[in-house]
Amino acid sequence: MGENQRKTRHKVSLIGAGQIGGTLALMIAQRELGDVVLVDITDGIPQGKALDLLESAPLGDFDVQLKGSDGYEATKDSDLYIVTAGLPRKPGMSRDDLLRTNTEIVKKVAENISQYSPHSTIIVITNPLDVMTQLMLRMTGFSKKRVVGMAGVLDTSRFRSFVAMEMGVSVEDVTALVMGGHGDSMVPLPRYCNVSGIPLTAFLSQEKIDEIVERTRNAGTEIVGLLKSGSAYYSPAAAAVEMAEAILKDKKRLLPCSAYLEGEYGIQGYYLGVPVILGAGGVERVIEVELNDAEKRALKKSLEHVKSLVDQLHLN
Ligand code: TXD
């Protein structure tokens, strides 16, 4: 590849080539967001998936380079990393049960990213999400704008899907907002949900809305229960691609993401899901929306949960 070409094409490295990593590679290639490098410790998997995808390009109507590797050299000078390396949940497991194993994995990933692409932006997907994102920030020493966690876009997409299903309207017309940590204590905000500008309360009873909130909280567990051998991957990949596109195309999207808070919402020194502006600068701004007392309490409870895990790792 010539020098000129490299300047006009983005390079996106996917650390972890499992269910989400593989799906991400396909979605990124289909949207031609950049050349893709897949990295995994399971030898043959990243190479195999990259080659398989490459061979689908003439039929899939996309033209990007795809490479698989068991080392980080191939990721050198990436613009963006999306990290899924780690173990997923099995039935009966909570996201927090993954803390110890995934901590060791994320530490190694962080070392390599700092070494090979010190100016990159990182989207973390590995669970338990908010804590692993904080660990990534600490281990890379990157600016807080450059390390962001994916959870809110997924949780919000789940909420929107359930509203659309319930009302029999297009998902395109439903907007929503889910804040807080990525776990059972997440904070769906029906007050900020509307259907083409009309508040949700105009269409659905409080009882129905409560049911949708509950289903959203348990949506990850619902999929784990059905799949039995892992967790959701199509929707998490789609959510991360939405964020990747916002960053790579400098779209300034307003999306709920796990961001490092220094005073916003009265929170100091923790990652938590909040609305942010996502663009070429990474997390360019945290948006503070007005919350009522019940919503504030729910957000505080969610923070307490994230804090308990962060404290276990002595990250603060
Ligand atoms: O909303 C969210 N943030 C999430 C998070 C939604 C769904 C799933 N979420 C979490 O993503 C899940 O709990 C896991 O922690 C990650 C990845 O889920 P995925 O379903 O992709 O798991 P897989 O298929 O097991 O893939 C993980 C890959 C696997 O191929 C391992 O070999 C690899 O990670 N792995 C590594 N790659 C590179 N380097 C190291 N050290 C490594 N260790 C494992």
- pLDDT tens, residue by residue, 88-100: 888 888 888 899 9
- pLDDT tens, residue by residue, 97-127: 899 999 999 999 999 999 999 999 999 999 9
Q: What would the mean pLDDT of 16-28 be, rounded to a whole number?
A: 98
Q: What is the pLDDT of residue 221?
A: 95
- pLDDT tens, residue by residue, 36-84: 999 999 999 999 999 999 999 999 999 999 999 999 999 999 999 999 9
Least confident of 10-19, 135-144, 306-315: 306-315
Q: What is the pLDDT of residue 273?
A: 98
Q: What would the mean pLDDT of 130-151 be, rounded to a whole number?
A: 98
Ligand 1 centroid – CA 250 distance (Å): 27
Q: What is the pLDDT of residue 66?
A: 98
- pLDDT tens, residue by residue, 293-312: 999 999 999 999 999 999 99
Q: Name the residue of 100, 127, 155 to mutate for ligand 1: max ligand atoms within 8 A of Cβ.
A: 127
pLDDT class of 7 with cuts at 50, 70, 90 = low
- pLDDT tens, residue by residue, 201-253: 999 999 999 999 999 999 999 999 999 999 999 999 999 999 999 999 999 99
Domain map (residue ranges) of the chain = 3-149, 152-313
- What is the reported pTM? 0.97
Ligand 1 centroid – CA 262 distance (Å): 28
Enter the CATH code of domain 152-313.
3.90.110.10
Which residues approach ligand 1 with their CB closer than 6 A? 15-21, 39-42, 84-89, 98, 102, 105, 108-109, 125-127, 129, 150-151, 154, 182, 230-233, 236
Closest among 184, 160, 26, 32 to 97, alpha carbons compared: 184
Ligand 1 centroid – CA 232 distance (Å): 11
Q: Is the pLDDT of residue 29 over 70?
A: yes
Known catalytic membership, residue 119: no
Pick the CATH number of 3-149 from 3.40.50.2030, 3.40.50.970, 3.40.50.450, 3.40.50.720: 3.40.50.720
Q: Is the pLDDT of residue 3 over 70?
A: no
Q: What is the pLDDT of residue 1?
A: 45
